[in-house]
Chains A and B, each alone.
Chain A
């Protein structure tokens, strides 16, 4: 494998890692960034998406990925809405209580997955059109292989980002979400139904987590504990990006993905993780509010 091919492979790997991070973190950017809810069950909502993808593959003809993703999104969104209505709404403004309660929810969802499905996890396979790779067998790029499934996840991440940007920038619901985020009391005074906005945001965030889970099931395991492997990185990306901004989340995901791909070339995975965390800590010393600072008119924020 030539140096050029290896470099490109690492670059592609960084992009792929970034797209996975974007998908895993976007839902959290909504609930944590906009609503200040530390949702410890976010990883399990990703897991639910994976299981829904499995259910879709079992029951739908020709293992349709598109229908699986739709089911993963809707299923998780409905679950998120139920969670908001039954639990999170009642703990409004009590972040520590929400943290503990959602952690409890995460344990319940994990055990439920074990009870409902095989405790060893379930098998989700990429369909034929996603299981190959774009391989270069000769020339200067010999040895480079871009997996179709990774290309698909990159495309999906970009599509979701675009969709969210349109939703926030161009629709009435998006306007309301931004208004509540900037100043809840004022928005309510002007007639925005802030509780309904909370429900919408949380359901949407959960839906995106489910979508992420459905897509990631193609390259990652679907087991009861898989949510745990996404949650830390997702929080990292949201905090680094600056809470509540989509652009920040996307940029942070790209930064973290690229940096870890680069670091993994030179050092062991564990050391690369430590280096990355040190970088984020150092970065937040200089920009404590993240890459992109959301402007807010709320009085309680400096």
Chain B
């Protein structure tokens, strides 16, 4: 009895909410990133790139003739705040969609909110996979679009003894779980060590001794944040060099390199789907527009590009669906060809993005020279078949 009352009430609320997605000549969109706290370092730049895309779209007539009005909220580096602000944006703010999130913890906290309210989140950061929500569009790399091609490239380069080093949380643990399966399945390749540093840890003396005594050919590094600075400073102070022992990092881009000290990172590798040095017309245009808006010293990063292209992907999907309704947009999004700073690409049915994988070698000026690239865009696989057999994404509802 009370159940049916509740569902009638819910339906009434939803019906009341629907028309408010677009009223008059405007439509509101949510931008939800950490503007304060630890993660603000990274997330403010993604917010900036998202706002740039919104501004550009408005300058060329908006979406379906409506002007986009960004509603910016601060997730404050706290997963609980992300969940609360996501609910506020969708329920009270009446936004048509939300662009945001960075850490997996923030995404996991927001996921039930978007599923419950039937809204759509565009998530711009590379992550550990093993998740596939019909209410989230994942434009950042899946493990098979970063970790696995990196391993493949390292093995091709002749690095046989591999050391895995990461921060102690879900992304490095899951990425390494997948990497270990693939290392074990590749003849002639061996895992010589695996260590996790608590998040924010800065004391690498013991780990460096262990690394030296196990003499690996290469280190695959999934450390995050401050720990990377300490690691590279102490790595170099201990007399180790990129020529003798290269480090392949998954969480270091141009900006982090500048903070660590470009000289310390020079010669090491990073794996992303985007580097600032990427030579595409879309990228040149993006960099020029971003620098014009936020200053000539601005540095680009992979998640920024994904935050930027997400807005255009949403626009294309809305125009194809001829509706702002999140479910219709989700259904329309896959397969539309998008012209992005990454080049031409598209979303897959599973809600993730097709993209090329690039290995960049750090240069003394904190930029990366692209050392290798996959020939074609890789199809995103949220569930690695070797590590999570039998798990697949359901079709979008």
Contacts between chains A and B (CB distance < 8 A), count: 125
| Minimal beta-carbon separation of B236 from chain A (angstroms) | 7
B198 at the interface (CB under 8 A from A): yes
Among B42, B195, B213, contact of A1 (Cβ-Cβ < 8 Å):
B213
**Known contacts A119-B41, A120-B259, A229-B226; A264/B207 CB under 8 A:** yes
Chain A residue at smallest Cβ distance from B43 = A119
Q: B260: which A residues are within 8 A, CB to CB?
A: 123, 221
| Minimal beta-carbon separation of B38 from chain A (angstroms) | 5
The answer on a CB contact under 8 Å between B259 and A123 is yes
A149 at the interface (CB under 8 A from B): yes
Q: A264: which B residues are within 8 A, CB to CB?
A: 206-207, 210
The answer on a CB contact under 8 Å between B212 and A268 is no
The answer on a CB contact under 8 Å between A6 and B40 is no
Q: 10 closest Cβ contacts across the A-B interface?
A: A264-B206, A221-B229, A13-B205, A147-B237, A145-B239, A133-B239, A221-B226, A220-B202, A121-B259, A1-B213
Q: Which of A171-220 contact B (CB under 8 A)?
A: 218-220
The answer on a CB contact under 8 Å between B198 and A273 is yes
**Known contacts A147-B239, A269-B198; A223/B41 CB under 8 A:** yes
**Known contacts A114-B40, A148-B237; A229/B201 CB under 8 A:** yes
CA distance A179 to B42 in the complex (A): 50
The answer on a CB contact under 8 Å between B239 and A219 is no
A203-246: contact bitstring with B at CB < 8 Å (1 yes, 0 no)?
00000000000000011111111101100000000000000000
Chain B residue at smallest Cβ distance from A1 = B213
A131 at the interface (CB under 8 A from B): yes
Q: Chain A interface: which size bin?
A: 35 or more
B226-240: contact bitstring with A at CB < 8 Å (1 yes, 0 no)?
111110011011110
CA distance A261 to B36 in the complex (A): 35
A156 at the interface (CB under 8 A from B): no
What 4 additional pairs, Cβ within 8 angstroms, besides A20-B203, A121-B41?
A114-B41, A121-B226, A150-B237, A226-B202
A265 at the interface (CB under 8 A from B): yes
B381 at the interface (CB under 8 A from A): no
A binding-site residues for B, Cβ under 8 Å: 1, 6, 9-10, 13, 16-17, 20, 111, 114, 118-123, 125-126, 131-133, 135, 143, 145, 147-150, 218-226, 228-229, 260-261, 264-265, 268-270, 272-273
B44 at the interface (CB under 8 A from A): yes
| 8 A-B interface contacts by CB (under 8 A) | A13-B209, A120-B41, A120-B255, A135-B239, A218-B233, A221-B227, A221-B230, A221-B260
Q: B225: which A residues are within 8 A, CB to CB?
A: 223
CA distance A6 to B211 in the complex (A): 11
**Known contacts A17-B205, A150-B237, A269-B201; A221/B259 CB under 8 A:** yes
